[in-house]
Structure 1
Amino acid sequence: MVVLVQKLLGHFVRSEAYCLVNGKDLPRLDINSPAIWKASVEVGADTEAAMSNWEPAEKRAFRLGARNFYLKATGYLLARLPFQNMTLRSLRCLSPNAREEESSGSELRCLDMKLPQVIQPGDISMLMDEYTVFQLDTLESAENIDECWRAAFDLKKCDGTTKYPILSKLVKAVLIIPHGNADVERGFSENRRLLQDRARLTLESFNGIRHVVCYGERFDSDPSSFTVTPEVLKVVRNSKKRYSERLALQKEQSAKRPREEPEAVPNSEGQDLQKEVETAKKMLTNAELLIAHGLKTNDLAEVESGNSLLASGKSRLEMAIQKMAGSKNSLPANDLSVHF
């Protein structure tokens, strides 16, 4: 993030104005101050060659437009990039060049605190001890982060066991976090397929389905290559168990209610719209629960799933309300009391 912003700043701001500014202080840089601007905006050698036959007024207008573009682009990034995010800043400790820096130990501890589901609290001291030994260890110099940590993972003790088991577990968990647009968009698409017309899924059932689907993708979704492990069986059984418990509870509650005359099956358009609104409400409720649970457990996948379900619920509710507005069969006012 910092390098990207610095590249933009280099086109129109003097280097002494930002070269010593660290990432968290970059948003405070007043890029709109003419005092730090370069005398001439850099537009590239190819553009300079193309402008060689232009009139001076045309060149001046073009450079003004280029500066405005750089100002808006840089201002947009400075306002939206998470420079204050401690987790992202702590990822510096994974860089091969940061291994010998004193601050890398505290950054590693910060990462561990953000991922309590990976390293248990009782193993934090062992993790820091392993990292201290890792800092003193002799490794082949590598500029690529993958090559550096692959070499560390391959190190063995005298008895043949992994030299840094806890450190390797944390680093692998951090490196596999999706961070590209394709990974994120793919996750939203998978969530949308799972949640389509299934507003009653609980958090446990939804996570169980996602785990099984993700596990199956390792084998190109080929059933003949799918390896059934105790972990996969446990996920499926837990999802089935919770689903059965919920059905049994609903059946018990229905039996306790006073018997009423069965109502005629609603066929009108108004009744169909009412069902659509109720389904959208349930989707919004489940989305809020999913997001809250994901924030509580620091599970980014659950938060993304909740956002996907929330967007689907809102879209479904808006479509139902639009149909309702043009329908002659109006619904009671309390059926529309949804806030989003």
Structure 2
Amino acid sequence: MYSMEAIDDSWITKRKYNGLDGQEHIEYHEIDYYWNKVLSIVRFNGYSKYSTLAKLVKNVRIVSHGKADVERGFSTNGNILTQERTLLSDKSINGLRAIYDDVDYLGYRSVHKMPISIDILRAVQKLSALYKEEASRMKALAATQQQENEQFQKIEVEKKKLLEQEQELMLKYKRLQLEHKTAQLLLDEGNQRMGNSLKKGDFTDVHAAYALNKSGTEKIKVIDEEMTKIMENVSIIQQKRIHAEREQSRKKSKLAAE
């Protein structure tokens, strides 16, 4: 544990000397020097002995001792983000902050007090050209995104239309299934009556049975053809829907990437 570590006094004390008053004075190292020594201690395998402590110390060291810098930053942002500048992008705000901080760092405090050199003029011209280029690129990107979004919405409408068509066909298919059952009942009844007539040797009901049989058979044939055609159309619609969904997913990913 760190509390049990044998700390070399030279990590703390930089030097001792006697002042003009004859008293002994001690000059200490900076705190960074001390922690650098402590956190450089390694185990026998070469790994840091106090890796967790290192994280704690680093986080504690970056904590501000006051709110002055934070408050100053808010004040600066307040001066930059005026009522006429409410639509500035993050990039523009960062650029203005960089200029403000650089001017303040150079000691001029205000931009109008800073001398204008040929290098500054060239830098402004270059930045102006870059700004126009960026604005043109963003405009083209916005137009492309709008076009992609319109196509995305168009595909969405097409998907809904295809889904409605598929649902309508499936309802028709279910109705045909009911009609198929009815036709099958007619066919079964005709076969049963035909069989009964043959067993009894009474052929008076044969014609009626034959008519039922024929009607049921023809109806089943027509229904089967319609059902087959419907399922073929449903399959085509489903393929179109799958293609539309893939295309929509591709455009959605493209819009997200842009």
Task: Output the TM-score relative to the length of structure 1.
Answer: 0.22
Q: Which has the higher strand share?
A: 2
Structure with bigger RCO (C-alpha 8 Å, 6+ apart): 2
Q: Which has the higher helix share?
A: 2
